[in-house]
Amino acid sequence: MTTRERYEELKNILNEHSYKYYVLDNPDITDEQYDKLMRELTDIEKENPDFISVDSPSQKVGGKVLEGFETVTHAVPMQSLQDAFSFDELKEFDVRVRNVLGDDAAYCVEQKIDGLSVSLEYVNSVFTRGSTRGDGITGEDVTENLKTVKSIPLKLRENIPYLEVRGEVFISKPDFAKINQRREENGETTFANPRNAAAGSLRQLNSAIAAKRNLDIFVFNIQQIEGREVSSHLEGLELLRKCGFKVISNEQSFKTIEDAFAEIERIGDVRRDLYYDIDGAVIKIDKLSHRDALGSTAKTPRWAIAYKYPAEKQKTKVKDITVAVGRTGVLTPAAELEPVLIAGSTVSRATLHNIDFIRSKDIRIGDTVVIQKAGDIIPEVVDVVQEERTGAEVEFNMPETCPACGAKVHRETGEAAHRCTGVDCPAQAIRNIIHFVSRDAMDIEGLGPQIIEKLVENELISTSADLYYMDKDKLAALDKMGEKSADNILNALENSKQNGMEKLLYALGIRHIGAGASKLISKKFGNIYALFDATVEELSSIGDIGTVMAESVVDFFAQPHTRDFINRLADAGVNMTYSADETTDNRFEGKTFVLTGTLERYGRKDASEIIERFGGKVSGSVSKKTDYVLAGEAAGSKLDKANALGVAVISEEEFEQMIK
Residue 529 · residue 566 · CB < 8 Å: yes
Residue 65 clears pLDDT 50, i.e. is over it? no
In tens, the pLDDT along 386-444 reads 999 999 999 999 999 999 888 889 887 778 889 898 888 888 888 889 999 998 899 99
Q: Which secondary structure element, helix H or strand E, spans residue 436, and what is its range?
A: helix 429-437
In tens, the pLDDT along 485-540 reads 999 999 999 999 999 999 999 999 998 888 888 988 998 899 999 999 999 999 98
DSSP string, 344-389: TEEEEEEE--SHHHHHHHT-EET-EEEEEEETTTEEEEEEE-GGG-
Which residue type is seen at 564? D
Q: Domain map of the chain by residue range?
A: 3-60, 83-180+190-308, 314-394, 426-571, 592-659
In tens, the pLDDT along 117-164 reads 999 999 999 999 999 998 888 889 999 899 999 999 999 999 999 999
Residue 170, number of CB atoms within 10 A of its CB: 23
74 Rama sector, left if φ>0, alpha if ψ -120 to 50, beta otherwise: beta
Higher pLDDT, 407 or 38: 407
pLDDT (0 to 100) of residue 292: 94
CATH class of domain segment(s) 314-394: mainly beta
Residue 377 clears pLDDT 70, i.e. is over it? no
Residue 441 · residue 506 · CB < 8 Å: yes
Rounded CA-CA distance 304/21 in Å is: 32
Q: Does domain 592-659 correspond to CATH entry 3.20.20.450?
A: no
pLDDT (0 to 100) of residue 332: 92
Residue 343 · residue 373 · CB < 8 Å: yes
Q: Residues with catalytic annotation?
A: 112
Residue 581 clears pLDDT 60, i.e. is over it? no
CATH class of domain segment(s) 83-180+190-308: alpha beta
Average pLDDT score, the chain: 87
Residue 579 clears pLDDT 70, i.e. is over it? yes
* Third-level CATH fold of 3-60: Helix Hairpins (1.10.287)
pLDDT (0 to 100) of residue 178: 86
Residues 6+ apart with CB under 8 A from 93: 82, 84, 257, 283, 305
Fold matches, 83-180+190-308 and 426-571: no
Higher pLDDT, 599 or 483: 483
**Sign of torsion over alpha carbons 404, 405, 406, 407:** negative
pLDDT (0 to 100) of residue 179: 86
Residue 372's DSSP bridge partners are: 380
The values of phi and psi at residue 500, to 5°, are -80, 170
Residue 583 clears pLDDT 60, i.e. is over it? no
In tens, the pLDDT along 75-87 reads 999 998 998 989 9
SS3 129: strand
SS3 247: strand
Over residues 595-624, the mean pLDDT reads 81
pLDDT (0 to 100) of residue 26: 66
CATH class of domain segment(s) 426-571: mainly alpha
Rounded CA-CA distance 568/459 in Å is: 18
pLDDT (0 to 100) of residue 311: 73
